[in-house]
Amino acid sequence: MFLTITTTGTPDRPATDLGFLLHKHPDNAQHFSTSHGTAHVFYPEASAERCTAALLLEVDPVALVRRGAGKGRGGAPDAALAQYVNDRPYAASSLMSVALAGVFKSALRGVCAALPERAATALPLRVEVPALPARGGADLVHKLFGPLGWDTVSARPVALDEQFPQWGDSRYVSLVLEGELRLADALRQLYVLLPVLDDAKHYWVAPDEVDKLLRAGDGWLAGHPEQELITSRYLARRRSLARQAMERLELVRLAEADGLDVEEVDNSVDENSDTPQGPVPLAAQRRSAIVAALVSAGAARVLDLGCGQGQLVGALLADPRFTEVVGVDVSMRALAVAARRLGLDRMTERQAARVKLTQGSLAYTDKRLGGYDAAVLSEVIEHVDLPRLPALEYAVFGSARPRTVIVTTPNVEYNVRWETLPAGHVRHGDHRFEWSRAQFQDWARAVAERHGYGVEFGPVGPEDPEVGPPTQLALFTLTGADGSTSREERSASGALESTPHHTPKEATAA
């Protein structure tokens, strides 16, 4: 499985700058382990005039069988014999996409500290993929890459057997792309469109694939004429996921039409970014658990701190028991998207009186946050640098002091259950840390003791007997003169259905 990227240079901008942009030195041949083999990066040529970087993915057939990547998941052809006879080691596919994302992670994000201006500038590029499965033929290749700014899109069909031309062409093409594009844009297009053309995925397509698609498609997918086909194929024709992706792409299109920036923002987590396999997205399970805990607590006026794009705010507004819902986020961009998602401009006066979106930083005390029944920090604390966590703690528990506080955060122990998450990686690029159950419980108990709260713990999502649930939840209840209900009363009400199974240990950064 082979791919090359070539650029040309000038005396003041040498072609070897490609090495800086890819974060791979032209003088070194480098090797990277993947879940299905070894990725090799090397430079067949590297001069000031012309530089070529090559990615060779050497697939381990044994690992391929053990992990089931040849079984035709997501629509791969010849599924009956695919475990024994398949093209995965030779033809560019989702295996290559995963290798691209792992080996050129910084380049995909357009990050280059050494040459930031080059990373942001279009380069003369030539991309070659000698063997690319293309279900739909050369015509589909042109439809997919043609609208993306390439000057030349060449997709030469590969004959089934050159010695027997009468047999016709195979479903493979030799792809060549030429044009001036940002390197990050070219890599993102390849990341999405290689498996789209193959019309197969080598791994289970979980709901977090929607987030991957939208991140890689940022800037080009929302306006692509083949958007529906790309979305359907990338998500292995799972209709519910494709529908969700199309709805979010429409939101992107509308936001861009209004001049809004819909990039990821502080304290905002994509709705399904940490969803395990299963019919109900973890994000939906998390919202249901939060709503149930708030109802049990008798909360009517609720703060959603770090509300992001307003998913939880919308869930709370759907329940008339919540008479006032305030979403707070540091980013005006996120709040603008939340307002559009919630349809604030279409609400009746009575409906609009129940909701408010306001800008604010959780690192500072804010008198506006006082006097509420409950506050929610859903997937927020892990986005905060550890040295700044005490400031957030005081702003919420010491200054605002709602009767009830709900905190959810990923359980790092559960990360091993995701095949597509590399070992040692966090679930989201903006996570500063991820805690085990013991670490989270130690932090929560210390916070409760310092500020006069009781705290209980519960799981969110399917609870694995070895590593626990994917998300952990802490329910804080104000005790003493400040609280209208005691911890014992809260426990008796059944707000949380289960308690943690591990004894707390000293909390440290993950």
Q: Write out pLDDT tens, residues 63-75.
A: 555 555 444 444 4
Q: Which of 9-18, 33-42, 225-234 has the lowest mean pLDDT?
A: 33-42
| pLDDT value, residue 39 | 87
User: How many Å apart are CA 5 and CA 41, to the nearest integer?
Assistant: 11
Sign of the alpha-carbon torsion through 295, 296, 302, 307: negative
- Residue 243 pLDDT: 86
For the segment 95-122, the average pLDDT, to the nearest whole number, is 87
pLDDT at residue 143 tops 60: yes
CB 187 within 8 A of CB 107: yes
pLDDT tens-digit map of 270-303 = 334 444 444 578 888 999 999 999 999 999 999 9
Q: What is the pLDDT of residue 253?
A: 64
Average pLDDT over all residues of the chain? 81
Contact indicator for 404, 478 with CB cutoff of 8 Å: yes
Percent with pLDDT over 70 in the chain: 80
Least confident of 45-54, 77-86, 290-299, 399-408: 77-86
Check residue 281 and give its pLDDT.
82
282-492: what CATH class? alpha beta
Contact 220, 259 (CB under 8 A): no
Length of the chain: 510
Q: CA nearest 74: which of 273, 237, 260, 183?
A: 237
**What pLDDT sits at residue 165?**
77
**Beta-bridge partners for 8:** 50
Superfamily of domain 2-204: Hen1, N-terminal domain (3.30.1610.20)
Sign of the Cα torsion 265, 268, 271, 274 reads positive
Give per-residue pLDDT as tens, 299-344: 999 999 999 889 999 999 999 999 999 999 988 888 888 898 898 8
- Residue 203: the pLDDT is 65
Closest CA to 322 of 348, 356, 349, 345: 356
pLDDT given for residue 270 in this prediction: 38
Which of 49-53, 106-110, 437-441 comes out lowest in average pLDDT? 106-110
Per-residue confidence at 136, pLDDT binned at 50, 70, 90?
Answer: confident
Predicted local confidence at residue 275, as pLDDT:
42
- Look at residue 475 in the predicted model and tell me its pLDDT: 97
8 Å CB contact between 380 and 306? yes
- Find which of 272-276, 359-363, 379-383, 487-491 is predicted with most confidence, using mean pLDDT: 379-383
For β-strands 471-478 and 50-59, DSSP reports them as unpaired
pTM above 0.95, yes or no: no
Distance CA(252)–CA(211), nearest Å, equals 13
Closest CA relative to residue 360, chosen from 335, 341, 380: 335
In tens, the pLDDT along 464-510 reads 889 999 999 999 999 965 555 444 444 434 456 443 333 333 333 33
CA 388 to chain CA centroid, Å, is: 24
- The answer on pLDDT for 177 being more than 90 is yes
- Distance from C-alpha of 502 to C-alpha of 259, rounded to nearest angstrom: 49
Span 366-388, mean pLDDT? 93
The per-residue pLDDT for range 213-262, each reduced to its tens digit, is 888 888 899 889 999 999 999 988 888 888 888 877 776 665 555 444 33
Q: Residues 6 or more apart from 37 whose CB is under 8 A from it?
A: 57, 58, 59, 60, 63, 64, 89
pLDDT given for residue 492 in this prediction: 39
| Residue of higher predicted confidence among 184 and 489 | 184
